[in-house]
């Protein structure tokens, strides 16, 4: 059964109360397995020019500059600890993406079950080196915007440090939202062939519309499905349009469970459910002989 992660990310709009509400909805109503946030040290991550530049899409901005916008969406380590406690009460796993070394150190100190290396940071080997040496949990690594040679270099990096079996490697296309022709779901089959025996699991991180592609991803072998989550897709922000609202996430969980039940071979040549129907409807030569 594929595990389902609701990425709240920055869709909480900088409100701790809203973030806590979203955890409750994701856990109790949608029945997800985990929720994921994001952690950035913006002064470390952005150049001064980037920090003080205006947001490229002013209608999505939560501050007068891009740096101010990003700071408005950040939670402190203590606030992340609060969110982790809420997750424990709601019966869901807490996690976060870490975008820089400072954030990695701060979040690793909380000892969550897993930390995520986003696509933008998967070549930041200083950050990943520190996590390999100091963080014992799972390391989930996304591969959007990453060439085949770069993905191979990431997997070898973890193999060389004896941590590859802690890695969940995600097929991902970085776009918001991603059109279906760019989801490239058969990459899941390729990843399973190349890396299935080398890493812990193969996942799928989607930024598309609807839930059909996620079901196909599981059928192709992805054992972790990650989708952005919001309470209202019309809210201001980059990620809301490519996110699932509660009913969409609830239906996705339902369909993952039901399709997982269906992805089996026949237990017997004639299933028990078929026996009565066979006796009633099936044409057989033996029946014709008896009739004569």
Give pLDDT tens digits for 205-222. 999 999 999 999 999 999
Ordered by start, the domain boundaries in the chain are 3-291
Confidence at residue 198, expressed as pLDDT on a 0 to 100 scale: 98
- pLDDT of 291 > 60? The answer is no
Confidence at residue 244, expressed as pLDDT on a 0 to 100 scale: 97
Confidence at residue 176, expressed as pLDDT on a 0 to 100 scale: 87
- pLDDT of 292 > 60? The answer is no
* In the chain, % of residues over pLDDT 70: 98
Among the CATH numbers 3.30.70.20, 3.30.470.30, 3.20.20.80, 3.20.20.70, which is that of 3-291?
Answer: 3.20.20.70
Confidence at residue 286, expressed as pLDDT on a 0 to 100 scale: 66
Span 260-266, average pLDDT = 97
- pLDDT of 289 > 60? The answer is no
Span 81-91, average pLDDT = 98
Q: What is the pTM of this model?
A: 0.94
Dihedral sign of CA atoms 100, 144, 115, 57 in order? positive
- pLDDT of 3 > 70? The answer is yes
- pLDDT of 18 > 60? The answer is yes
- pLDDT of 243 > 60? The answer is yes
Per residue in 264-284, pLDDT tens? 999 999 999 999 999 999 998
């Amino acid at each position: 059964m594929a595990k389902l992660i609701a990425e709240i990310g920055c869709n909480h709009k900088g409100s701790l109360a809203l973030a806590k509400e979203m955890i409750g909805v994701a856990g109790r109503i949608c029945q997800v397995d985990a929720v994921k946030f994001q952690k950035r040290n913006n002064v470390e991550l952005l150049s001064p020019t980037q920090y003080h530049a205006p947001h490229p899409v002013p209608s999505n901005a939560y501050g007068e500059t891009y740096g101010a916008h990003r700071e408005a969406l950040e939670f402190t380590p203590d606030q992340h600890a609060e969110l982790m406690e809420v997750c424990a009460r709601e019966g869901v796993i807490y996690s976060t993406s870490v975008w820089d070394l400072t954030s990695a150190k701060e979040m690793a100190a909380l000892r969550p079950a897993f930390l995520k290396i986003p696509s933008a940071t998967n070549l930041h080997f200083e950050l990943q080196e520190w996590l390999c040496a100091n963080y014992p949990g799972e390391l989930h690594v996304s591969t959007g915007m990453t060439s085949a040679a770069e993905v191979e270099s990431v997997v070898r990096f973890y193999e060389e440090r004896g941590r590859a079996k802690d890695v969940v490697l995600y097929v991902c296309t970085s776009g918001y939202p991603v059109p279906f022709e760019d989801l490239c779901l058969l990459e899941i089959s390729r990843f399973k062939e190349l890396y299935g025996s080398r890493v812990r699991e193969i996942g799928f991180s989607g930024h598309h519309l609807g839930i059909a592609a996620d079901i196909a991803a599981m059928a192709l072998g992805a054992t972790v499905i990650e989708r952005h989550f919001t309470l209202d897709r019309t809210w201001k922000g980059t990620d809301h349009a490519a996110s699932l609202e509660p009913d969409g996430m609830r239906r996705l969980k339902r369909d993952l469970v039901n399709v997982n039940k269906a992805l089996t071979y026949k237990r017997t040549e004639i299933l028990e459910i078929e026996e009565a129907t066979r006796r009633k409807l099936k044409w057989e030569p033996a029946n014709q002989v008896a009739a004569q």
